[in-house]
Amino acid sequence: MKNILIIGKRGGILQWYENLLASDLPNQEYNIQGFALNHNNNLERTVKKLISNKDKYTANLLKKKLAGFQPDLILIADLFYFNEHLLKVLHESKAKKVHWIGDFFDERLLKSKDVIDLYCFTDSSFIEDAQKIGLEKTAYLPLAFNPNVFFADETHKKDRLLFIGAWSQDRQELIEQIPVPLTIYGKGWHQLQKADCITHPHNIPLTDVAQLYRQHKFVLNVINKNNIRQGMNMRCFEAPACGCILVSEYVKDLELVFDTQEEIICFSNPDELAQSLRNNKIIPEIAHNKVLNYHSYLHRVKQITQ
C-alpha cells in the first residue's frame, strides 16, 4: 500500500483539497492523508493568529507530519509559491513530489524547481508557459470530480438552462446575450437584469450544487478567463457525472476528453448556443459513463502514481 500525502488549502471554494482526500476509499492500494497549509484544525488556526512567524510554524508541522506518515508520494494541489522553510522540509523528504496547478503562474514557481519532481497543469497551454520560464518536468492533468458528491439519480430534469458560479463582468456580458431562459446561482448576480432569468445571488454548498445539477438537463459552463486559457474547470466533469448535458464555451482542452459533437454541447457565441439547444441530439449517458470510468479524483491519483 502506497502512502500519499495531499498538501493543499482547507475550505477553498472548489474544495480541491477535500475532493482529493475523498479518494481515500476502503480496500484500495492507497493510504491517503492530508496536510492543509492554512490550518488543519481550530487549534492551528488560533495559534497562527497569535504568532509572528507563521511560515516557520507551518513548516515544523509539515516536518512532523512527514516523519509520522512517511509518504511515498506528496501531491500538492493548487498554486502555491513555497517559502524557504517549506522548501527545506520538502527537500528533505525522499517521497516523490508532484505539484498539480490550475491557475496562471509566474517565475516564483522556479523556487521549487529543484524540489518538485513533476509539475502537472490542468490547462494544457500552461505546459508551454512552464517551459518558457525553465520548467521541463511537466505533464497535462485535467481536473476531475468527486463521485461522493456528484452522481446521477432518477430525479426529473427541467429543460431550463442552469448556471452556478460567481459573477464576473465577462460572464455577465455573455449571459446577457444568451437568448434562452436561465436559472443562475452565485454571489454577485444581483447585478444582472435580464428577462427570462431567475437569479439567486448567493453562494451555495457543493452538495446543493450537485442536487441542482441532478434537477436540470442542461448545465452552462462559462469560462473564467482570469485563471483559464484553454483548460477545463471542475464543472466540465461534475455536470456529466450528474447525468446533465454540459453546455460549455469552447476551449481546446475539451477535445482531449469529449467528442464535442456527440457528447457535449460547445458554443463560441450565444446564437450558436441557442441553435445547438434547439437541435440537441446529445445522449447524456455517454459523457456520464466516460467521466465515471476515467475522470474521478481517484483516477487522477492513479495516473500520478503510475
Among residues of the chain, what percentage have pLDDT more than 90?
90
Q: What count of Cα atoms within 13 Å lies in the side-chain half-sphere of residue 167?
A: 17
What pLDDT band is residue 35 in, cutting at 50, 70 and 90? Answer: very high
At residue 103, the pLDDT reads 95
Cell numbers linked to 305: 502514481
Q: In the chain, what are the domains?
A: 2-141 (3.40.50.11930), 158-294 (3.40.50.2000)
- The count of residues in the chain is 306
For the entire predicted model, the pTM comes to 0.94
**How far apart, in Å, are the Cα atoms of 260 and each of 18, 78, 172, 244?**
30, 27, 24, 15
Residues contacting residue 72 through CB under 8 Å, at least 6 positions apart: 2, 3, 4, 95, 96
For residue 27, pLDDT beyond 80: no
Band (pLDDT 50/70/90 cuts) for residue 306 is confident
3-class secondary structure, 267? strand
pLDDT band at 9 (very low <50, low <70, confident <90, very high): very high
Q: What pLDDT is stored for residue 227 in this prediction?
A: 85
Per residue in 117-149, pLDDT (tens digit) is: 999 999 999 999 999 999 999 999 999 999 999
Number of Cα atoms under 13 Å in the Cβ half of residue 230: 12
Contact criterion met (CB below 8 Å) for 87 and 112 = yes
Closest to 145 in 3D by CA, of 290, 38, 29: 290
Number of other CB atoms surrounding residue 261 within 10 Å:
10
Q: How far is the C-alpha of 303 from the C-alpha of 306, rounded, in Å?
A: 5
107 pLDDT above the threshold of 90: yes
Residue 15: the pLDDT is: 93
Residue 205: is its pLDDT beyond 80?
Answer: yes
> Cα(156)–Cα(214) distance, rounded to whole angstroms?
8
Q: Among 21-30, 142-151, 178-187, which is the least confidently predicted range?
A: 21-30
pLDDT for the residue numbered 116: 98
**What integer pLDDT is reported at residue 29 of this predicted model?**
86
Using the predicted structure, report yes or no on whether residue 114 has a pLDDT greater than 90. Answer: yes
Q: What is the pLDDT of residue 133?
A: 97
Closest alpha carbon to 68 in 43, 33, 16: 33
Neighbours of 186 (CB within 10 A): 20
* Category of 251 on φ-ψ map: left (φ > 0), alpha (ψ -120 to 50) or beta: beta
Rounded to the nearest angstrom, the gap between the alpha carbon of residue 127 and the centroid of all alpha carbons in its chain is: 17
Residue 26 has pLDDT above 80, yes or no: no
Cα-based distances in Å from 16 to 9, 93, 144, 283: 8, 24, 9, 29
Is the pLDDT confidence value at 293 over 90? yes
How much is the average pLDDT of 149-173? Answer: 93
- CA atoms within 13 A of residue 185's CA, in its CB half-sphere: 14
Can you tell me the distance from the alpha carbon of 108 to that of 111, in angstroms, rounded to the nearest whole number?
A: 6
Task: For residues 43-52, give the mean pLDDT.
Answer: 94
Give 155's pLDDT tier (boundaries 50, 70, 90): confident
In this predicted model, what pLDDT tens digit does every residue of 228-242 receive, in sequence order? Answer: 899 999 999 999 999
Report CA 35 to chain centroid distance, whole Å. Answer: 18
Task: Specify the residue for cell string 483539497.
Answer: 17
